[in-house]
């Protein structure tokens, strides 16, 4: 009986070496753009107390109701694999007293997150996000800067077919008043709604804007719009964010039906979508969350941020051809058939000396014939190949084709000189 093969769980995937270069490029671009704007890297734990997300993300959201990987640890504490990064960053801000630092505190992360969702292309159960959070300032310029930075990152990574949707949810108070009006509208048209929308009228009426159901969509056309309920300050804040985006020449559409799947948002919300991504078109999104830090036990602190999915950026972006870095030296040797063979020992010594001198080097590890070692070195893009012998070594210049026989203990010196003279 053969042993069954194991596979990675549904909705997860391996990042294979050939995909690593594209990811490294996303990370390098994010670092350059965000650190250039004063954001500093933070990493929070992969799991947190379940209560953080119940309180932070919102008990009525899909994430908390059905998508969390929650488990009890050995001592019975309820823990949850992080489904998102904003609540953990706010928890860290409070826990480390970051309100005492100069504000705003700007933090970025690139980490994996976990949601039990229906897996499909661009929707994973373990996925990666790059995110940026600015805590401690309610200035509209923070909102605009944050959005402009994500626009710049997506542009830099060649994400095609981009659209930016923008709205404002106002304060909790204006949203509460609006919620009542929206509920009344939905109750008045309850018969025309999809059953899952009808069941959630009282719990989360805004989600009705998300429905694909034809009857629901018709009802929503005449539904009251949140933007008409903003108070004077929220309306002025939104107008300023829009003016700043115009200033930065970032195109957007005001979309009053924009709903985000997390409860902490106040004022600005936005989402970038890409036409390149079928159904899962959201590449990145975020908004302002002025009450969240306080809700997690910290001082009243405004916040603004976003996260973008790495898998979706890669699906919608342009991938440069993968090129593995060439090496300076390949150390080859004549096989003498003994595992403790003197050829292998000599080669290992040369390899070590080469690396100590700062060269990139590899040695033969697979028992190939000399001819095949040369072919392998060629595929690796080695600049020099040393075929080592007891006293003498043949050093081959793979670019120019020249070959010389020199004392084994002078190889590293010869390669260094050759590279310098290029």
Q: How far apart are alpha carbons 345 and 98 in whole angstroms?
A: 55
**Structural contact between residues 300 and 309, judged by C-beta atoms closer than 8 angstroms:** no
- The interface region with ligand HAM, picked from 40-48, 248-256, 286-294, 386-394 by CB under 6 A, is 286-294
DSSP 120: B
Q: Which residues pair with 269 in a beta bridge?
A: 167, 287
We find the least distance from the C-beta atom of residue 269 to ligand HAM, in angstroms, to be: 9
| Residue number, 290 or 364, with CB nearest to ligand HAM | 290
We find the least distance from the C-beta atom of residue 389 to ligand HAM, in angstroms, to be: 55
- The interface region with ligand HAM, picked from 79-87, 164-172, 294-302, 355-363 by CB under 6 A, is 79-87
Rounded to the nearest 10 degrees, what angle do helices 232-247 and 140-156 cross at?
40
List 44, 80, 86, 171, residue binding ligand HAM (CB under 6 A): 86
Does position 290 bind ligand HAM by CB under 6 A?
A: no
In 3D space, the residue among 153, 162, 368 whose CA is nearest the CA of residue 274 turns out to be 162
| Residue number, 285 or 418, with CB nearest to ligand HAM | 285
Does position 291 bind ligand HAM by CB under 6 A?
A: no
DSSP code per residue over 205-244: GGGGGG---HHHHHHHHTS--GGGG--HHHHHHHHHHHHH
| Residue number, 309 or 418, with CB nearest to ligand HAM | 309
Q: How far apart are alpha carbons 123 and 259 in whole angstroms?
A: 18
List 242, 312, 383, 396, residue binding ligand HAM (CB under 6 A): 312
| CB contact burial 233-271 (16+ within 10 A = b; e otherwise) | ebbebbeebbebbeeeebebeebebbbbbbbbbbbbbbb
Residues 99-158 that bind ligand HAM (CB under 6 A): 115, 117, 122-124, 127, 129, 131, 133
| Residue number, 106 or 123, with CB nearest to ligand HAM | 123
List 104, 140, 305, 317, residue binding ligand HAM (CB under 6 A): 305
| Residue number, 193 or 307, with CB nearest to ligand HAM | 307
Degrees, nearest 5: CA angle 169-175-179: 120
Q: How far apart are alpha carbons 421 and 418 in whole angstroms?
A: 5
| Residue number, 127 or 384, with CB nearest to ligand HAM | 127
Helices (H), 334-392: 342-356, 370-380
Does position 261 bind ligand HAM by CB under 6 A?
A: yes
In 3D space, the residue among 357, 313, 265, 367 whose CA is nearest the CA of residue 23 turns out to be 313
Q: Interface with ligand HAM by CB under 6 A: which residues?
A: 84-86, 115, 117, 122-124, 127, 129, 131, 133, 261-262, 282-287, 289, 305-309, 311-312
């Amino acid at each position: 009986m053969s042993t069954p093969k194991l596979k990675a769980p549904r909705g997860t995937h391996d990042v294979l070496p050939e995909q690593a270069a594209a990811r490294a490029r996303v990370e390098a671009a994010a670092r350059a753009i965000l650190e250039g704007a004063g954001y500093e890297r933070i990493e929070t734990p992969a799991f947190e107390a379940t209560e953080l997300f119940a309180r932070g993300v919102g008990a009525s959201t899909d994430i908390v109701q059905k998508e969390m990987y929650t488990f009890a640890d050995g001592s019975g504490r309820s823990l949850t694999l992080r489904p998102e990064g904003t609540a953990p960053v706010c928890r860290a801000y409070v826990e480390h007293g970051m309100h005492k630092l100069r504000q705003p505190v700007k933090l970025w992360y690139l980490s994996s997150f976990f949601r039990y969702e229906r897996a499909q292309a661009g929707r994973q159960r373990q996925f990666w996000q790059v995110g940026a959070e600015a805590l401690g300032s309610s200035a509209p310029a923070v909102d605009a800067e944050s959005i402009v930075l994500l626009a710049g990152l997506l542009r830099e990574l060649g994400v095609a077919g981009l659209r930016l949707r923008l709205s404002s949810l106002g304060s909790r108070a204006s949203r509460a008043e609006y919620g009542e009006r929206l509920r009344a509208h939905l109750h008045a048209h309850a018969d025309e709604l999809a059953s899952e929308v009808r069941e959630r009228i009282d719990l989360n009426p805004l989600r009705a804007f998300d429905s694909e159901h034809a009857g629901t969509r018709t009802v929503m056309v005449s539904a009251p719009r949140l933007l008409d309920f903003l108070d004077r300050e929220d309306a002025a804040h939104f107008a300023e964010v829009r003016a700043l985006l115009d200033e930065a020449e970032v195109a957007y559409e005001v979309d009053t039906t924009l709903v985000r799947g997390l409860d902490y948002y106040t004022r600005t919300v936005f989402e970038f979508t890409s036409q390149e991504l079928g159904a899962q078109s959201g590449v990145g999104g975020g908004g302002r969350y002025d009450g969240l830090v306080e809700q997690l036990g910290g001082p009243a602190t405004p916040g603004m941020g976003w996260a973008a999915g790495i898998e979706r950026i890669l699906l919608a972006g342009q991938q440069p051809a993968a090129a593995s870095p060439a090496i300076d030296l390949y150390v080859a040797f004549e096989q003498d058939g003994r595992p403790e063979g003197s050829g292998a020992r000599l080669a290992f010594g040369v390899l070590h000396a080469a690396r100590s001198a700062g060269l990139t080097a590899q040695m033969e590890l697979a028992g190939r014939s000399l001819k095949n070692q040369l072919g392998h070195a060629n595929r690796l893009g080695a600049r020099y190949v040393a075929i080592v012998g007891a006293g003498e070594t043949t050093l081959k210049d793979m670019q120019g084709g020249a070959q010389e026989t020199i004392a084994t203990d002078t190889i590293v010196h010869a390669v260094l000189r050759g590279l310098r003279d290029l």
